[in-house]
Structure 1
Amino acid sequence: MAPEGTRADASPDDGAPADGSAGPVSRGSRPEAASAAELTEDSIVRFRSDRPQRGWRGALYKITGGLVNPGVGAAERARQDQLRRIRRPLPGSHQIAVSSLKGGVGKTTVSACLGLVLAENRGDRVIALDANPDAGTLADRLTAETAVTVRNLLDNIAATHSLTDVARYTSLAGRLQVLASEQDPAMSEAFNRQEYEQVCEVLTRFYNIVITDSGTGLVHSAMEGTLARADSLVIVGAPTVDGASRASKTLDWLVAHGHEAQVADAVVVLSCDRMSKEVDLARVRGHFDARCRAVVEIPHDPHLATGGRIELPRLRQATHDAFLGLAALLADGFVPRAAAVQPAPEQVPG
């Protein structure tokens, strides 16, 4: 194994003696074309990705102060690949809808964790919008700040011209911006398709990724707008009889209403908070694999099971890795579309 920092394509012809010693370099032997262009990051930096961070490899590397570098293992390399996918450049703005036919399967939890993972690992702006017309709990799970809501933004939308204006109505969870739903059910019923699209018109001007935590059910007006504007669709279910049935019926409804293409490109998330050995998980997964682009299983996690405020560092490693996988799958869709030749979100000077 070559020592850390040694280029794999180095050869005796590169100017070093065949015995590996540095050797004297005379003025006359220097390449005439030598310039600052040779001192690139690729040529002189020992990349962090070559340094193991986890498992026995990471422990050995740290104990020896980097003198012994066994390289990264397959699992860590796969994680690095996921992070590269998550961080890929995004042309314009991308809207992700997280939906389910009924509540109680972890839809809001998936929306929150997906938003946190994307915001933590990207350098652009990500916002999670609670579009539930029935006093949604997204903000409760992320920031516990619900005094200002999407209704306040709508009331002042004509005067919202900048990122600073939008920020008056959002709260912050790490690097993720959160726009809460109206908490008064009597008022939130008025959140219809037209108003949802007005909000999205503003958000996509300033945010690269907009994650919509859709309301339960599929027939309310705001859901029509959510599906019409979604670039990516996440359907949440569970590996139980009722949880799997609800997710499959969601797909049936979408197909029956002209959303076949979105179903084929959708990602199904199976939230494994409730599981039974009597349920054939492989068969449940196989059902959705045949209908959608991908299936992701989120393992049971004690931190998420409390129903309280979500903090990424408190997730089990397997749970965090599952959400990284989900984010990477969705980031695979961050490619230009013929209909998505849209301007990038406006940048803030300075």
Structure 2
Amino acid sequence: MPNGDNWQGDVLRDLKGGAPLPSRGPGAAGLRQPESQAGASAPGTDGTPLSGAPPQDTPPQAAPPAHPARPAASQAHVPQPPGPTVRTPESRPAIDRNLAKIAGKPRHGESFAARALRTVRRNVSSSTAREVAEVTRVAELLQQPVTTGRQIAVTSIRGGAGKSTVAALLGTTYAHYRQDPVLFVEADPALGSLSIRLGAETLRWTTGDLADIIEPQMSLLDVTGYLVQLRDNAWLLPGSQGQIGAMLSTGSYERAMVALRRYFGVTVVDCETLPAEVARVALSASQARVLTAPATLEGITSTYAVLQWMQGLPPHMITGTVVVLTQQTPHPGINLAEAVRALQTTRASVHVLPYDRHLAAGGPLRTELLAHSTRKTATRLAAEVFSLSQKRR
């Protein structure tokens, strides 16, 4: 890999046709926004990531070539041997056109009164310097170089636990702070909602499709021809095109992930719920794991049982796992502090993702509409998970 730890900058520069990349220091407020997002709100001193949803004026993705193993963009510099003809899937909308009109106007994560009160407190408080120092520290953690791609698996015990939401928050944060390529992989083919959370408009190639056509000699430019581009350095590989009954075998998942690891600095995998076989394979193969659970008595009980089971596995499994309790109502009916303490006795780290009106409404994630507490939690969570992934080489 070129230049050791800086390989990720080289491959992204190659993807952009040799254009120089900006230097990203620890201060997040000075990050360059992609040209296609020139109108998007800039990140603030609280480390607000840019929006993960594609902007309205993003040019449409070019259709893949007729032979899927030889993207046209690579013809000039990577000779490809002849291979078997593979069926080229047709593009399908991420949301059925009959349902496209039901989405309402996105809400801000917190009320206007709460935002105004926080602004007043910040103006009269002496904690601004401490807040900036914390943002700088977290940014430095998120921008650590990698020598091989880090894979982070996100799963849950039951549906509706906020698994895809947490995966979207993590990947969007990495894409904001890092300059190397970031990949979202949906390994929940039956009813996955990651593509909707990320604002993808159309879906074509899936994880299973790519496992059958990816070849070692492909460049990053070849591979991204089969992915959904979300922003300059972030792509999505869907699990399916929304079909009920779609399947993903462990063999296909393993082939795809082994092949993709060398192209992307960070890969966030939105897995099936446990105990599905692909989810168990993803958890064991990743460098860090995130287990989401609703902040309810049932969610805490199920998660505690899984963590106790993980204590019988090799030690890195439990120490490399972070639990995220998602508040799905403004006032949870449990003692959250006691729940966190109980889960921490298993040696797993625990974060609480607070209730957020924007997240609760569903639909594409727009980080500029997230509540301040949500942004802060997501950034700290991303930093801790990434640090854990670095400890396991």
Distance between the aligned counterparts of 1:303 and 1:212, measured in 2? Answer: 23
Q: State the Cα deviation string for residues 259-309 of structure 1 (Å, max 9, x = none).
A: 543113311111112364541111101012222342111111111111101
Shift of 1:48: 6.2
Distance between the aligned counterparts of 1:306 and 1:56, measured in 2? Answer: 28
Equivalent residue letter for 2:268 = I
Q: SS state of the match for residue 295, structure 1?
A: strand
Distance between the aligned counterparts of 1:273 and 1:323, measured in 2? Answer: 16
> Quick one: which of 253, 258, 272 aligns to 1:215?
272
Classify 1:168/1:160 alpha carbon distance in 2 versus 1 (closer, same or farther; 3 Å). Answer: farther
* Residue matched to 2:261: 204
> Does structure 2 retain, via aligned residues, the 8 Å contact 1:98–1:212?
yes
Q: What pairs with 1:1-350 in structure 2 (closer than 5 Å)?
A: 53=45, 72-144=128-200, 145-158=202-215, 161-174=218-231, 175-182=233-240, 183-186=242-245, 188-189=246-247, 191-220=248-277, 222-256=278-312, 258-274=313-329, 276=331, 278-335=333-390, 337=392, 340=393
RMSD, aligned α-carbons: 2.8
How many residues are aligned here?
279
Q: Which is bigger in relative contact order (C-alpha 8 A, separation at least 6)?
A: 2
Classify 1:81/1:293 alpha carbon distance in 2 versus 1 (closer, same or farther; 3 Å). Answer: farther
Distance between the aligned counterparts of 1:177 and 1:168, measured in 2? Answer: 10
Q: Unaligned regions of 5+ residues in structure 1, if any?
A: 1-46, 61-69, 341-350
Equivalent residue letter for 1:184 = Q
Q: State the Cα deviation string for residues 290-346 of structure 1 (Å, max 9, x = none).
A: 223421111111111111011111111111111001011112225365xx3xxxxxx
Question: What is the TM-score when the length of structure 1 is the normalising length?
Answer: 0.72
Classify 1:280/1:192 alpha carbon distance in 2 versus 1 (closer, same or farther; 3 Å). Answer: same
Distance between the aligned counterparts of 1:223 and 1:277, measured in 2? Answer: 28
Question: What is the TM-score when the length of structure 2 is the normalising length?
Answer: 0.64
Larger Rg: 1
Classify 1:133/1:248 alpha carbon distance in 2 versus 1 (closer, same or farther; 3 Å). Answer: farther
Q: SS state of the match for residue 388, structure 2?
A: coil
Q: SS state of the match for residue 184, structure 1?
A: coil
Equivalent residue letter for 1:99 = T
Distance between the aligned counterparts of 2:27 and 2:162, measured in 1? Answer: 35
The structure that is helix-richer by fraction is: 1
Q: Unaligned regions of 5+ residues in structure 2, if any?
A: 1-25, 31-43, 47-118
> Does structure 2 retain, via aligned residues, the 8 Å contact 1:240–1:274?
no
Shift of 1:254: 3.2
Distance between the aligned counterparts of 1:53 and 1:184, measured in 2? Answer: 42
Distance between the aligned counterparts of 2:206 and 2:213, measured in 1? Answer: 11
> Does structure 2 retain, via aligned residues, the 8 Å contact 1:143–1:171?
no
